[in-house]
A and B are shown apart, each in its own frame.
Chain A
Amino acid sequence: MKIWIVILAVSAVTFLLRASFLLFADPHRFPHAFRQALLYVPPAVLAAFVAPGLLMPDGVLDFTFANARWLAGLAALAVATRVRHPVATIAVGLPLLWLIQWAIR
């Protein structure tokens, strides 16, 4: 029973967040500062996911070569700046991670 309450409540909250400005607020009355701030949301939020994903695989900062993730991630970043294709980033990053994990085992 509790799990269904969680599922319904989380889904409702997620929808309301998505609907906030699309359904309930006047998009022509955003303050200018808010519009400017919006520009930096995607780089900030995405980087806030990527950095711990690369450098904290087990919840603690790991800059050593025993952590294959930041090495593979750095290579993936290099690929992503040259080839604007998400498939290329994954096609290089994931096998490289496997390779490094296999090599340092």
Chain B
Amino acid sequence: MLDSAERREFLAGCRDVAPLIVGLLPFGLVAGVAAVSAGMTPVEGMALSILSFSGIAQLVVCQLVAVDSPVAVTVAAAAVVGLRLVMYSAALAPHVAHLDRRWRALIAYFLTDQGFAMAVARFAAPGERAARHWYYLGTAAALWASWQLAVLAGIAAGARVPPEWSLDFAVVLTFIALLVPVVRTRADLAAALVAGGVALAAAGMPYRLALVVASIAGIAAGLVLERGRTR
């Protein structure tokens, strides 16, 4: 049984993540529709969603499966867009180093942009820390269940969602809502502006490499500006 602190953390996680879930639902619908449009069966679409549990990876796979690109290229592209997960993994690891491997594997499987944003805020908060991983699990469980339901709905709706609804724009809006709170300093702003600019300039690069090039350029810009200030 969970003790009361663990249950409290779990439920707080479920509750606090609710606003992010509203943004996630259209994203999940888009991913479901994309799977059907790429020619996947409902079982294949759901298997991809449950096993990978990554909206961006799912969208990339759908785009590349639709044009029948080679397996190696598809996997490489998914790895490239997943690179930010390595950074999240590194940022989260010190907070959960005391947990056993099974727990850390579970935390790894559930790692997402939204879950990471919530977890970083909670792990850094003052107060009793022993049950913080249950907060993470609460956000993760709520995100996971609503994501899978949204993808399922998207698969069921299939090609019947009219393009005029521009549901994919909800994905961009979700990222705007995640972006604004993490831009706190001038160095953050430089990272965002440079990454955005490079993403536009490098958009012609194949297999979504622009995303990685732009991210690295933005990180470099943030570091340069930070160094200039402390000197």
Q: Are B166 and A23 in contact (CB under 8 A)?
A: no
A104 in the interface, Cβ–Cβ < 8 Å?
Answer: no
Q: Are B94 and A40 in contact (CB under 8 A)?
A: no
A41 in the interface, Cβ–Cβ < 8 Å?
Answer: yes
**Cα distance, A9 to B52, chains bound together (Å):** 9
Instruction: For chain B, residues 39 to 68, give those with C-beta under 8 angstroms from any C-beta of chain A.
Output: 40, 44, 47-48, 51-54, 57, 61, 65
Question: Which residues from chain A contact B159 at a C-beta distance below 8 Å?
Answer: none
Instruction: For chain A, residues 41 to 81, give those with C-beta under 8 angstroms from any C-beta of chain B.
Output: 41-56, 59, 61, 69, 72-73, 76-77, 80-81
B12 in the interface, Cβ–Cβ < 8 Å?
Answer: no
Q: Are B187 and A40 in contact (CB under 8 A)?
A: yes
Q: Are B176 and A21 in contact (CB under 8 A)?
A: no
Which one of B1-9, B147-155, B194-202 is at the interface? B194-202
Give min CB distance, A31 to chain B, whole Å: 11
Q: Are B105 and A43 in contact (CB under 8 A)?
A: no
**Cα distance, A48 to B94, chains bound together (Å):** 27
Instruction: For chain B, residues 179 to 199, give those with C-beta under 8 angstroms from any C-beta of chain A.
Output: 179-183, 187-189, 191-199
Q: Are B75 and A9 in contact (CB under 8 A)?
A: yes
Contact A40/B169 with A22-B93, A61-B200 known, Cβ cut-off 8 Å: no
Q: Which of B44, B97, B108, B198 contacts A7 (CB 8 A)?
A: B44
Question: Which residues from chain A contact B105 at a C-beta distance below 8 Å?
Answer: 19, 22-23
Q: Are B191 and A44 in contact (CB under 8 A)?
A: yes
8 other contacts beyond A10-B74, A15-B109, A94-B170, with CB at 8 A cut-off? A4-B47, A6-B61, A27-B94, A44-B191, A45-B84, A46-B113, A46-B192, A47-B191
**Cα distance, A5 to B226, chains bound together (Å):** 44
B37 in the interface, Cβ–Cβ < 8 Å?
Answer: no
Contact with B along A78-105 (1 / 0, CB 8 A): 0011001111011001100110010000
**Cα distance, A5 to B19, chains bound together (Å):** 35
Give min CB distance, A103 to chain B, whole Å: 14
Give min CB distance, A5 to chain B, whole Å: 6
Question: Which residues from chain B contact A39 at a C-beta distance below 8 Å?
Answer: 187-188, 222
Q: Which of A22, A41, A87, A98 contacts B166 (CB 8 A)?
A: A98
Question: Which residues from chain B contact A19 at a C-beta distance below 8 Å?
Answer: 89, 104-105, 108
**Cα distance, A39 to B87, chains bound together (Å):** 9
Give min CB distance, A87 to chain B, whole Å: 5
Give min CB distance, A102 to chain B, whole Å: 9
